Structure 1
Amino acid sequence: MNKNLKYLPILLFATLALGILIGGMLNLGRNNFSGKTAAQKNKLDRLLDFIDHEYVENVNTDSIVDLTVNNILSNLDPHSVYLPKDEQEVAAQTMKGDFVGIGVNFYMYRDSVAVIMPVKNGPSDKAGIQPGDRILYAGNKKLFGRKLPNDSLFSALKGNPGSDVELTVFRKSDHKTFKVNVKRGTVPIKSVDVAVMLNATTGYIKINRFAETTYDEFKSAFAKLRQSGMREMVIDLRDNGGGYLEMAVEIADDLLKDGQLIVFTKNKKGRIDKTFATGNGSFENGKVTILVNENSASASEILAGAIQDNDRGNIVGRRSFGKGLVQREMGFDDGSAVRLTIAKYYTPTGRSIQKPYDHGNEEYFKEFDHRFESGELYEKDSIHVADSLKFKTPKGKIVYGGGGIVPDVFVPLEVEHGSEGIVYLMQSGAVSYFVFEQLDGRRNEFRGMAFPQFLQVMDKTDLYYNNFRDYVQKNGLDLEFDNNKALVKKYITAEFARQLYGDDRYYDIVLQTDPMIKAALKN
């Protein structure tokens, strides 16, 4: 295996690990503390004043404070973190579930704001903005030909609800520039990606995070599938790094019977808080399957653990991340915040699934590296579990604590001939950018094409497969493509479908051959 291939999965996972770090389980609240730390706080304040007034050169004391806070937290646990103002604003926006803006998915393509797709029924969609359009100006503000920082770019497109912004747009497919007025509105940030029927009786719901709106989205998805004849449910939590505990609990409540324990927490004083299901569940009897992988963390593990420990359904996939720490947030006047671990959570059988972190934060987030090298992603027997952390469910099933949720049905990483790098690459954002660039010069070829015809066209051609292979190699990655042609073509076709027809069509394609879906339907 070449060096680039060997480390690609680790690099991709590192990005996901950051999402797990920032998107972990939260109990939000502002707190003010005083008492025995007053002397220490006075010492820090005096030192900063001393530096500010007497140090030989000008120093940004704010940066010193940030560094001090980070150093303090680095001696605690991996999920006690400091979020500077800009990161805190982004995190809060993401977890809120919506924002006010013009409603487009875009990325900077050759120093231009290129629209990948307008949000369906959003402000830009209603104004006639189309995929492939370039937004040149927002009002009088120039958005092309220079590298704008993200905050400046977003501020030009966001605004108050109902406010107008005149966009100057270049439409490459028609070779014309025009102006259009867009009325800003509230745009949802979906946490439920899709809800579709896998067969006549089995519904599928994909949750990407647990945000403020997740339970409402889940209920809408559930109602849609129930009307379509759903009697069995698959909930996909793969790559879901967590979010709000309450959302996972509400979904679990819908699936469990009255009085069944969902989760409990314990703080350093030994206080235990238990959360039980109520009698209001809307799906207490139908078959339930939860899909997890090595990037499913925190609130995802709460939901999976509640289902597994109550013998409610099967957990299918690979061992989850292993985050069992509860954070509370303390905000500062400058907009920054600290998330501090205040308790540990436990699944209904009493197991903690928090993986060890006594070798430092860097080693903690590199733990995926060890899973990769040990073969755990390919063989269930390679998963290391401690007999001392063995628990039994009410029906006598053995479950383990000490590091993630071990699935009931193991599904190895989708690989052929050592091609794990290909798998992670095809599920990354690189495919989205590639497809956009391919469509940018060929969009008219697909205009008006029905979906069945599109599938036939993509099946018959190797053009985009060959182009993608060249695209990857030009970007410095030497991966094995020839043994994975079908896999590569599947994800390329799916991404074309997403950008041309919407998210549902993407999942129509990838779920057909998804190994975890096959395992869920079989077991």
Structure 2
Amino acid sequence: MKKKSSYLWPTIIAASMAVGIFVGGKLNFNDSPEKLFTTNSKKDKLNRLIDYIDYEYVDEINTDSIVDITVNNILEKLDPHSVYIPKQEMDKVAENMKGDFVGIGVSFYMYKDTISIIRAIENGPSFLKGLKAGDRILMADKDTLFGERIPNDVIIEKLKGEKGSPVELQVYRKEDKRFFRVNVKRDVVPIKSVDAYYMLSPAMGYIKVNRFAETTFKEFKTALEKLRALGAQKLTLDLRDNPGGYLGIAEQMADEFLSEGKLILFTKNKKGKVDKVFATKKGDFEDKPVYVLINERSASASEIIAGSLQDNDLGTIVGRRSFGKGLVQREMDLGDGSAIRLTVSRYYTPTGRSIQKSYANGNRDYYQRFTERFHSGELFSVDSIKLADSLKFKTPKGKVVYGGGGIIPDVFVPIQNYETLAWENLENGGLFSRFIFEHLDENRAQYAAYSKEAFIKDFKVDDVLFGLFSHYCISNNLNMDLSAYQKKIKLFLKASLAEQLFDANTYAEIKSQGDAMLQKVLELDKEASTLSEPEK
């Protein structure tokens, strides 16, 4: 990789920070609607202004767009996490947090202007009708689904529908060179928030959670039960890149690890009302060894989990300083299909820490502070984190922890370099999976003999596949020297192959082999096991 471009990597990486970080719950006001929405001069002024523009302004104006701009401008003056959700985006936002939608059950890639199935979701509608990876969907009923100018959202709209509603698909199967029609009944399709779970070692389970949606705790419990059946007595909970979600789900997950009566967190609203949340006796993994992985993109609900365990002297937080978001939002309907997420309180960890970083100088400065982490050296050394003594707190066992700007891990794991982190961002962004899809589209038969176990153990990415990927990068205007990162790139290629040939668990298991944080967890666990062994 050329040196002259290396200074760009921090900016590129920072710009990829996920938007929409929040921790919140459903609307539950104690005040009546009449009390909340009485008329007053401030509201009348805004209403009158819109009416004047609507009826008197010289040109035709879309006053809906003016209202949207006004709402956004008002919320921007409050804090970085109070946001407006337009009507046209509400369905997508609701689906993501609900954890499912109604559709035909395929993940697809628009390849050469045609819908190409990456994988039919196991036991989903399409899977049960025999559709498989590589199939092209050409039509849904009488609607044509191929063509350069058909947007993704239009295609998705054609494939979604009411539960139980039928859709006739016209399909081309490349490997047989044949066209056929199949009738599929739409059904509920899960949007998984537990990306993967598997045994990291004979006694250590691993669970990766990507957000805190309505279904997350149920998914988490299912994964945990399966891992315990496989012998898991310890757990690695991976919350890296997890931007948060529902407060109640984070509380339930923390309760799994904390014994009855332990404080999980408390919230405080503008009136000074304090609500404390304590662990119950429901937890199935209480007081067992747990490692929580966090990084600079772990936020809100992820920080609640890490903070509650850290402040109760339970488990080990591994990684890099988290984002620093300690505000609680509620989603509120605006009456026309749109909504706002409004900050209604702050949350505090059990020792009384607020991990919210300052937003006193506005949203631009707030997110610039995040970008500065990539330039300050913080990702390479924990000593680069500068915090005031006034933000220092102590846990019951005397461990020093800090508020203000995120959770600082117990064990710091630096990035290797910006280029390595950039490759990980490109991998997360789909570069490798798109290449692998196109490779499998031409060469799927050569992998048919592999079982999952044999693929993990025996398959090696050769120089031919690596060379093809190099050419693919060049064709996509990524003119970089890949040779210095050959080992990591080959690992990513193998993991992406595993995901499309088998499942997300196989992908995660293979990728863990080059994961510095997971290797650190295994090292820490080995040290802990050695210390706990009785003297002979």
Shorter chain as denominator, the TM-score bin is over 0.9
Partner of 1:495: 496
| Paired residue type of 1:26 | G
CA deviation after TM superposition for structure 1 residue 16, in Å: 3.2
The answer to whether the Cα contact below 8 Å between 2:13 and 2:422 also exists between their aligned partners in 1 is no
How do 1:377-456 and structure 2 match up within 5 A?
377-415=379-417, 419-451=420-452, 454=455
The residue number in structure 2 matching 1:468 is 469
Check if 1:26 corresponds to 2:24.
Answer: yes
Determine which of 137, 140, 152 is the counterpart of 2:139. Answer: 137
Q: 1:109 to 1:38 in 2, by over 3 A?
A: farther
Q: How does 1:129-208 map to 2 (within 5 A)?
A: 129-208=131-210
Q: 1:137 Cα deviation (Å)?
A: 0.5
The residue type paired with residue 117 of structure 2 is V
Name the aligned partner's letter for residue 392 of structure 1: K
Displacement, 1:121? 1.0
The residue aligned with 2:319 is 317
Of 187-196 and 401-410, deviating more is 187-196
Q: 1:23 to 1:170 in 2, by over 3 A?
A: farther
User: What amino acid does structure 2 have at the position aligned with 1:24?
Assistant: F
Q: For the Cα contact (< 8 Å) 2:488–2:514, is it kept in 1?
A: no
1:34: Cα distance to partner? 4.1
Distance (Å, rounded) in 1 between the aligned partners of 2:10 and 2:249 = 30
Distance change in 2, residues 1:101/1:185 (3 Å): same
TM-score, reference length from structure 2? 0.93
Q: What are the superposed Cα offsets for residues 118-142 of structure 1, whole Å, 9 maximum, x if unpaired? A: 1111111111111111111011111
Deviation string for 1:83-119 (max 9, x for gaps)?
Answer: 1112222111001011111001113222221211111
Q: Is the 8 A contact 1:14 1:365 kept in 2?
A: no
- C-alpha separation in 1, matches of 2:453 and 2:289: 32
Specify which of 365, 368, 371 is matched with residue 370 of structure 2: 368
The answer on 1:41 being equivalent to 2:43 is yes
Counterpart residue number, 1:282: 284
CA separation of 1:10/1:88 partners in 2, compared to 1, >3 Å: closer, same or farther? farther
Contact 2:170 2:179 in 1 (8 A): yes
Q: Quickly say closer, same or farther: Cα 1:420–1:34, change in 2 above 3 A.
A: closer
Residue aligned with 1:442, SS: helix
How many Å apart are 1:513 and its aligned residue? Answer: 2.8
Q: Which amino acid aligns with 1:495?
A: S
Tell me the distance in 1 between the aligned counterparts of 2:3 and 2:24. Answer: 40
Change (3 A) 1:460 1:74: closer
Residue 53 of structure 1: how far off its partner (Å): 1.4
Identity %: 51
CA-based RMSD of the aligned residues comes to: 1.9
Segments of structure 1 that go 5 or more residues without pairing to the other structure are: none
TM-aligned CA deviation for residue 63 of structure 1:
0.3
Question: For 1:390-445, what per-residue CA distance to the aligned partner results, in whole angstroms no more than 9, with x for missing partners?
Answer: 000000000000001000001111448x5432232233322211211221221222
Is contact 2:254-2:264 (8 Å) kept? yes
Contact 1:10 / 1:368 at 8 angstroms: preserved in 2?
Answer: no
Give how far 1:26 is off: 1.2
Give the letter for the 1:304 counterpart. A
From the superposition, tell whether residues 366 and 178 of structure 1 become closer, same or farther in structure 2 (CA, over 3 Å). Answer: farther
Tell me by how many angstroms 1:151 deviates.
Answer: 3.7
How big is the shift at 1:61?
Answer: 0.4
- What CA distance in whole angstroms lies between the structure 1 residues aligned with 2:453 and 2:154? 42
Corresponding letter in the other structure for 2:26: L
Determine the C-alpha separation between the residues in 1 that align with 2:246 and 2:21: 8
Report what 2:294 is aligned to.
292
Displacement of 1:292 after TM fit? 0.4
| Greater Cα shift, 295-304 or 428-437 | 428-437
Counterpart residue type for residue 72 of structure 1: I
- Partners of 1:324 and 1:345 within 8 A in 2: yes
Partner letter of residue 153 of structure 1? I
| CA contact 1:349–1:392 (8 Å) conserved in 2 | yes
Match of 2:61 among 43, 53, 59: 59
Aligned-partner Cα distance in 2 for 1:30–1:58 = 39
2:300–2:325: 8 Å Cα contact kept in structure 1? yes
Looking at structure 2, the residues matched to 409 and 365 of structure 1 have their Cα atoms a distance apart, in angstroms, of: 25
CA distance in 1, matches of 2:170, 2:6: 43
1:475 counterpart letter in structure 2: N
**How far apart, in 1, do the equivalents of 2:345 and 2:137 lie?**
47
Cα gap change, 1:228/1:171 in structure 2, threshold over 3 Å: closer, same or farther? same
Distance 1:17 1:3 in 2: 27
1:459 maps to 460
CA gap 1:3/1:93 in 2 versus in 1, 3 angstroms: farther
CA distance 1:452–1:227, shift in 2 (3 Å): closer
Residue type at the aligned position of 1:54: E
Q: CA deviation at 1:459?
A: 1.9
Range that drifts further, 156-165 or 237-246: 156-165
Partner residue in 2 for 1:326: 328
Asked whether the 8 Å contact 2:21–2:81 carries over to 1, the reply is: no
Report SS of the residue matched to 1:144. Answer: coil
> How many residues matched?
519
Q: Distance in 2 between matches of 1:170 and 1:366?
A: 49
